[in-house]
Amino acid sequence: MPHPVPPYYYQTLDWNRLVADYPPAPGYFDTVWKWPRERLVALQQQRLREAVQRAWQTPFYRRRWEKAGVRPDDIRTPADLPKLPFYTVDDIRDSIALDPPYGDYQGRAAAAAAEEPLRIFWSGGTTGDPRPTVYTQWDREAGAILTQRMYYLQGVRPGDVVMNSWAFSTHNGAWIYDHALHHWLGCLNITTGTGNVTATEKQLMFAHKYGVTTILSWADHLVYMANLARELGYDLQRDFKIRTLPTFGNPLPVKEAWGCPAYEAYGFHEVQVISAECDAHAGLHVFEDAFIVECVDVDTGQPLPDGETGNLVVTCLYKTGNQHIRYNIQDLCRIVSREPCACGGTHLRTDRFLGRSDTMVKLRGINVWPEGCGNVVNKDPRVTGEWFCYAETKKTPRGDVDELTIMVEHKAGIGDAGALRAQLEDRLKVEIGLRINVEVVGPDALRTLTGLGTDRPKPKRFEDRRIAQK
């Protein structure tokens, strides 16, 4: 006798309420997208109070807010948010150390999967152990709707053939893109994964043979694909049907490489897609029915006026499991406008991602911290423990490529430095998930770069040489 389908997938979620609260496209763009700001702010106030009450049930927030002398009833409007301390990735790490392996910031225990569908994904884990996020079914579906809105805004339509070239791994990204397009937009997905899984040449063959209308990947890889296609003898206009290219990263080189519209978006692991660019290319629209964003001074943490660059602080309104109240993601950004856009949208717009206020490098769509690379190489007993990282842009026949190199001091008498370099590069590839270049140098060779032994309060470990190249 066949086993019945477990009913809880269908019965534990109020699907009608979900689409009423967070309408997908195209209905969203005829309704909430065009609401006057007063109505948007009123909705935010209601959802903010509910999110704060949920967060108060989580030990992570209760501990921090009690220490700050703030209670949920003190937060009534978005203007009250600065009363609450923001938190950073360091606070998440502390939470995991306090209550391993999940941390005390989770809104659902793993055992709750017996009663409702849960998913767990991890951050890149480039600064130590990966940071887990447990998603409830509501959080997963609402996040997929936000992602579906992004793709619809940027020209993807039901029936399109979409090739997903993101990395299907422990990270959330590729999975939520696939979920959104398959479940909520009605696209036919070709899930190739990255070039490490499906050779880029084969991906181009798929795109040509099956009439792919958009390719999902990070910006510099899309440029690489266009240049490789030309090398292989393809005519991009004649041999492909690419109509639009949504991406994360600077879309201008993508537009030039493929000769079709390209768009930018912004989001991160814990909350999925936050904002997206429209045809007006006048900033990224924040989905304000799901988020409140602030920009704060990098040094003081105080809110900044619109137009000034600072750290982006995100408050998530839609999640029922993990709460994110004033998460200082330490990405540099600025609010560019709260006025209606030429596209008809009334949601506030931010600038594109402007960099990091700490040392994180976004490399081929993945966040990499130099400190994480240092931790990996220092496991080898042949190194002194001294290291220095730099990021640079290298020009290749297939386009500009950002690369990260770590310089490592070896101990005296190690033998073959070339073998050490190759082994460290292999270890970094396994633990970081990307190719990181290694330069092996002699003992004490990095002193002038790190400033070790000088009057610096701590050694310098990273230099972004891409800034000088621009």
pLDDT in tens, 260-288: 999 999 999 899 999 999 999 999 999 99
Give residue 457's pLDDT band: very low, low, confident or very high (50, 70, 90). very low
Read out DSSP for 329-386?
A: EEEEE-EEE-SPPTTS--S-EEPPP--BSSS-EEETTEEE-HHHHHHHHTTSTTEEEE
pLDDT (average), residues 50-61: 98
pTM over 0.85: no
With a pLDDT cut of 70, the percent of the chain lying above it is: 95
Domain ranges of the chain: 362-469
Among residues 231, 347, 237, 234, the alpha carbon closest in space to that of 287 is found at 347
Model confidence over 116-152: pLDDT tens digits? 999 999 986 544 568 999 999 999 999 999 999 999 9
The reported pLDDT for the residue numbered 7 is: 64
Q: How far is residue 432's CA from residue 427's CA, in Å, rounded to a whole number? A: 8
Q: How far is residue 208's CA from residue 23's CA, in Å, rounded to a whole number? A: 34
Question: Is residue 271 within 8 Å of 319, Cβ to Cβ?
Answer: yes
Give the amino acid at 332: L
Question: Is residue 153 within 8 Å of 294, Cβ to Cβ?
Answer: no
First to last CA, the chain: 67
Predicted confidence (pLDDT) at residue 98 exceeds the cutoff of 80: yes
The reported pLDDT for the residue numbered 165 is: 94
Predicted confidence (pLDDT) at residue 4 exceeds the cutoff of 60: no
Domain 362-469 CATH (choose: 3.40.50.1980, 3.40.640.10, 3.30.300.30, 3.30.43.10): 3.30.300.30
pLDDT (average), residues 163-189: 95
The reported pLDDT for the residue numbered 156 is: 98
Q: What secondary structure letter does DSSP report for 303? A: B
Predicted confidence (pLDDT) at residue 157 exceeds the cutoff of 50: yes
